[in-house]
Amino acid sequence: MKKTVSLFLVLPLLLTLAAPSLAAEEAAFSDVSQTQWYAGYVNRAAQLGFVHGLGGGIFDPEGDVTYAHFATMMCNTSYLSEVSAIAVLPNAPWWTAYCMVANAHGLFYNTPMSNQQKWADYAETPIPRGDMAVMTYNYLTHCGKGTLASASLDIVRADITDISGLNVFHAKAVAYCFANKILNGVGDGRFLPDSSLTRAQAAKVICEAYDFTTARQS
Protein backbone atom coordinates (compact mmCIF):
# COMPACT_ATOMS: atom_id res chain seq x y z
CA MET A 1 0.00 0.00 0.00
CA LYS A 2 1.31 3.39 -0.90
CA LYS A 3 2.16 5.78 1.88
CA THR A 4 0.38 9.12 2.05
CA VAL A 5 1.95 12.26 3.42
CA SER A 6 0.07 15.51 4.01
CA LEU A 7 2.18 18.65 4.17
CA PHE A 8 2.05 22.20 2.76
CA LEU A 9 2.35 22.91 -0.96
CA VAL A 10 5.81 23.90 -2.17
CA LEU A 11 6.42 23.53 -5.89
CA PRO A 12 8.57 26.42 -7.16
CA LEU A 13 11.67 24.32 -7.80
CA LEU A 14 9.97 21.43 -9.56
CA LEU A 15 12.07 21.87 -12.68
CA THR A 16 15.41 22.12 -10.89
CA LEU A 17 17.68 19.34 -9.73
CA ALA A 18 14.69 17.93 -7.93
CA ALA A 19 12.53 16.99 -10.87
CA PRO A 20 13.41 13.39 -11.63
CA SER A 21 9.99 12.62 -13.08
CA LEU A 22 11.05 14.48 -16.19
CA ALA A 23 12.72 12.49 -18.92
CA ALA A 24 16.49 12.71 -19.10
CA GLU A 25 17.17 15.90 -20.96
CA GLU A 26 19.59 16.76 -23.65
CA ALA A 27 22.51 18.54 -22.00
CA ALA A 28 22.64 21.82 -23.89
CA PHE A 29 22.76 24.51 -21.22
CA SER A 30 23.56 27.99 -22.45
CA ASP A 31 25.40 28.85 -19.22
CA VAL A 32 27.62 25.75 -19.20
CA SER A 33 30.68 26.46 -21.30
CA GLN A 34 32.24 23.30 -22.67
CA THR A 35 35.64 24.66 -21.62
CA GLN A 36 34.72 24.60 -17.92
CA TRP A 37 35.95 21.74 -15.72
CA TYR A 38 32.40 20.75 -14.83
CA ALA A 39 30.91 20.66 -18.34
CA GLY A 40 31.35 16.92 -18.84
CA TYR A 41 29.85 16.12 -15.45
CA VAL A 42 26.85 18.41 -15.94
CA ASN A 43 26.20 17.06 -19.42
CA ARG A 44 26.42 13.45 -18.33
CA ALA A 45 24.38 13.91 -15.16
CA ALA A 46 21.65 15.65 -17.15
CA GLN A 47 21.63 12.98 -19.86
CA LEU A 48 21.29 10.26 -17.23
CA GLY A 49 18.45 12.14 -15.55
CA PHE A 50 20.31 12.72 -12.29
CA VAL A 51 20.03 16.52 -12.52
CA HIS A 52 17.84 18.97 -14.42
CA GLY A 53 18.10 22.58 -15.48
CA LEU A 54 16.06 25.56 -14.38
CA GLY A 55 14.27 25.89 -17.70
CA GLY A 56 15.10 27.99 -20.71
CA GLY A 57 18.40 26.19 -21.22
CA ILE A 58 19.78 27.44 -17.88
CA PHE A 59 21.64 25.22 -15.42
CA ASP A 60 23.08 27.81 -13.00
CA PRO A 61 26.32 25.92 -12.24
CA GLU A 62 27.30 28.24 -9.38
CA GLY A 63 23.89 28.10 -7.71
CA ASP A 64 23.51 26.48 -4.30
CA VAL A 65 22.27 22.92 -3.82
CA THR A 66 19.89 22.25 -0.94
CA TYR A 67 19.64 19.17 1.24
CA ALA A 68 16.48 18.19 -0.63
CA HIS A 69 18.13 18.68 -4.01
CA PHE A 70 21.09 16.49 -3.11
CA ALA A 71 18.83 13.81 -1.67
CA THR A 72 16.84 13.90 -4.90
CA MET A 73 19.95 13.48 -7.01
CA MET A 74 20.89 10.39 -5.04
CA CYS A 75 17.39 8.99 -5.38
CA ASN A 76 17.66 9.61 -9.12
CA THR A 77 20.69 7.31 -9.31
CA SER A 78 19.31 4.35 -7.39
CA TYR A 79 15.91 4.67 -5.75
CA LEU A 80 13.42 6.08 -8.26
CA SER A 81 11.12 3.06 -8.08
CA GLU A 82 10.82 3.57 -4.33
CA VAL A 83 10.08 7.26 -4.79
CA SER A 84 7.35 6.40 -7.29
CA ALA A 85 5.77 4.02 -4.78
CA ILE A 86 5.03 6.86 -2.36
CA ALA A 87 1.80 8.76 -2.98
CA VAL A 88 2.19 12.35 -1.81
CA LEU A 89 -0.86 14.56 -1.41
CA PRO A 90 -1.04 17.79 -3.47
CA ASN A 91 -0.30 19.95 -0.43
CA ALA A 92 3.03 18.23 0.29
CA PRO A 93 6.41 19.78 -0.57
CA TRP A 94 7.90 18.54 -3.82
CA TRP A 95 10.76 16.91 -1.94
CA THR A 96 8.68 14.80 0.45
CA ALA A 97 8.92 11.43 -1.30
CA TYR A 98 12.61 11.86 -2.10
CA CYS A 99 13.50 12.75 1.47
CA MET A 100 11.43 9.86 2.80
CA VAL A 101 13.32 7.40 0.60
CA ALA A 102 16.70 8.99 1.34
CA ASN A 103 15.96 8.82 5.04
CA ALA A 104 14.88 5.17 4.79
CA HIS A 105 18.27 4.31 3.31
CA GLY A 106 20.18 6.21 5.99
CA LEU A 107 21.47 8.95 3.70
CA PHE A 108 20.69 11.66 6.26
CA TYR A 109 22.54 9.96 9.11
CA ASN A 110 24.72 12.46 10.99
CA THR A 111 23.21 15.50 9.24
CA PRO A 112 20.47 17.89 10.45
CA MET A 113 18.03 16.05 8.17
CA SER A 114 18.33 12.89 10.28
CA ASN A 115 15.56 14.38 12.44
CA GLN A 116 12.40 14.30 10.34
CA GLN A 117 10.86 16.97 12.56
CA LYS A 118 13.52 19.36 11.22
CA TRP A 119 12.87 18.76 7.53
CA ALA A 120 10.80 21.90 7.14
CA ASP A 121 13.73 23.88 8.59
CA TYR A 122 16.56 22.33 6.58
CA ALA A 123 15.28 20.68 3.40
CA GLU A 124 15.40 23.83 1.30
CA THR A 125 18.52 25.35 2.82
CA PRO A 126 21.95 25.06 1.12
CA ILE A 127 23.85 21.94 2.07
CA PRO A 128 27.43 22.52 3.30
CA ARG A 129 30.14 20.53 1.56
CA GLY A 130 30.83 18.69 4.82
CA ASP A 131 27.28 17.36 5.03
CA MET A 132 27.39 16.55 1.31
CA ALA A 133 30.41 14.34 2.04
CA VAL A 134 28.49 12.63 4.84
CA MET A 135 25.46 11.98 2.64
CA THR A 136 27.73 10.66 -0.10
CA TYR A 137 29.53 8.37 2.34
CA ASN A 138 26.19 7.15 3.71
CA TYR A 139 25.05 6.39 0.16
CA LEU A 140 28.24 4.48 -0.61
CA THR A 141 27.90 2.55 2.65
CA HIS A 142 24.34 1.58 1.77
CA CYS A 143 25.65 0.36 -1.58
CA GLY A 144 28.22 -1.79 0.21
CA LYS A 145 31.13 0.48 -0.68
CA GLY A 146 31.90 2.20 2.61
CA THR A 147 34.93 0.27 3.90
CA LEU A 148 38.55 1.41 3.88
CA ALA A 149 41.36 0.64 6.31
CA SER A 150 41.75 3.20 9.10
CA ALA A 151 45.44 3.62 8.30
CA SER A 152 44.62 4.59 4.73
CA LEU A 153 42.01 7.06 5.93
CA ASP A 154 44.51 8.61 8.35
CA ILE A 155 46.97 9.21 5.51
CA VAL A 156 44.32 10.93 3.40
CA ARG A 157 42.98 12.91 6.35
CA ALA A 158 46.43 14.28 7.08
CA ASP A 159 46.58 15.80 3.60
CA ILE A 160 43.34 17.78 4.05
CA THR A 161 44.21 20.87 6.01
CA ASP A 162 40.80 22.21 7.02
CA ILE A 163 38.85 19.25 8.42
CA SER A 164 40.53 18.98 11.82
CA GLY A 165 37.58 20.80 13.37
CA LEU A 166 35.03 18.34 12.03
CA ASN A 167 33.58 15.58 14.17
CA VAL A 168 35.01 12.10 13.70
CA PHE A 169 32.24 10.88 11.39
CA HIS A 170 32.38 13.92 9.12
CA ALA A 171 36.17 13.75 8.89
CA LYS A 172 35.98 10.04 8.06
CA ALA A 173 33.37 10.69 5.36
CA VAL A 174 35.48 13.39 3.71
CA ALA A 175 38.64 11.28 3.86
CA TYR A 176 36.88 8.20 2.48
CA CYS A 177 35.44 10.13 -0.47
CA PHE A 178 38.84 11.73 -1.14
CA ALA A 179 40.59 8.36 -1.01
CA ASN A 180 38.21 6.96 -3.62
CA LYS A 181 38.43 10.05 -5.84
CA ILE A 182 34.76 10.90 -5.45
CA LEU A 183 35.57 14.26 -3.90
CA ASN A 184 38.48 16.62 -4.26
CA GLY A 185 39.47 19.87 -2.65
CA VAL A 186 39.75 23.43 -3.86
CA GLY A 187 43.54 23.67 -3.79
CA ASP A 188 46.19 24.06 -1.08
CA GLY A 189 44.88 20.97 0.69
CA ARG A 190 41.58 22.64 1.53
CA PHE A 191 38.10 21.11 1.30
CA LEU A 192 35.98 24.02 2.64
CA PRO A 193 33.51 21.83 4.56
CA ASP A 194 31.41 24.81 5.65
CA SER A 195 30.99 26.27 2.16
CA SER A 196 27.78 25.61 0.24
CA LEU A 197 27.78 22.93 -2.43
CA THR A 198 27.27 24.32 -5.93
CA ARG A 199 25.24 22.69 -8.67
CA ALA A 200 28.38 22.13 -10.76
CA GLN A 201 30.14 20.45 -7.85
CA ALA A 202 27.08 18.33 -7.15
CA ALA A 203 26.99 17.09 -10.74
CA LYS A 204 30.58 15.90 -10.39
CA VAL A 205 29.99 14.20 -7.05
CA ILE A 206 26.89 12.35 -8.20
CA CYS A 207 28.62 11.11 -11.36
CA GLU A 208 31.67 9.93 -9.41
CA ALA A 209 29.51 8.22 -6.76
CA TYR A 210 27.43 6.53 -9.45
CA ASP A 211 30.54 5.27 -11.23
CA PHE A 212 32.06 4.07 -7.97
CA THR A 213 29.01 1.96 -7.15
CA THR A 214 28.43 0.65 -10.67
CA ALA A 215 31.04 0.87 -13.44
CA ARG A 216 34.02 0.61 -11.10
CA GLN A 217 32.78 -2.70 -9.74
CA SER A 218 34.01 -4.56 -12.81
pLDDT in tens, 151-177: 677 888 888 999 988 999 999 999 999
> Does residue 6 surpass a pLDDT of 50?
no
pLDDT at site 5: 46
pTM: 0.84
Mean pLDDT of all residues in 122-135:
98
* Residue 20 confidence (pLDDT): 42
Asked whether residue 11 carries a pLDDT value surpassing 80, the answer given is: no
Res. 21: pLDDT tops 90 = no
Most confident of the ranges 130-144, 149-163, 174-188: 130-144
The DSSP code for 116 is: G
Domain spans in the chain, listed from the N-terminal domain onward: 64-217
Quote the CA–CA distance of 139 and 173 in Å, as a whole number: 11
Residue 17, C-beta contacts closer than 8 angstroms, at least 6 positions apart: 51, 52, 65, 69, 70, 72, 73, 199, 202
66 compared with 5, residue with greater pLDDT: 66
Q: What is the mean pLDDT of residues 83-101?
A: 95
Would the pLDDT of 84 be above 50?
yes
The pLDDT of residue 216:
52
Residue 83 has pLDDT above 60, yes or no: yes
Q: What is the structure's pLDDT at 24?
A: 44
Write down the H helix ranges in the chain: 39-47, 67-78, 80-84, 96-104, 119-122, 129-142, 150-158, 168-179, 199-213
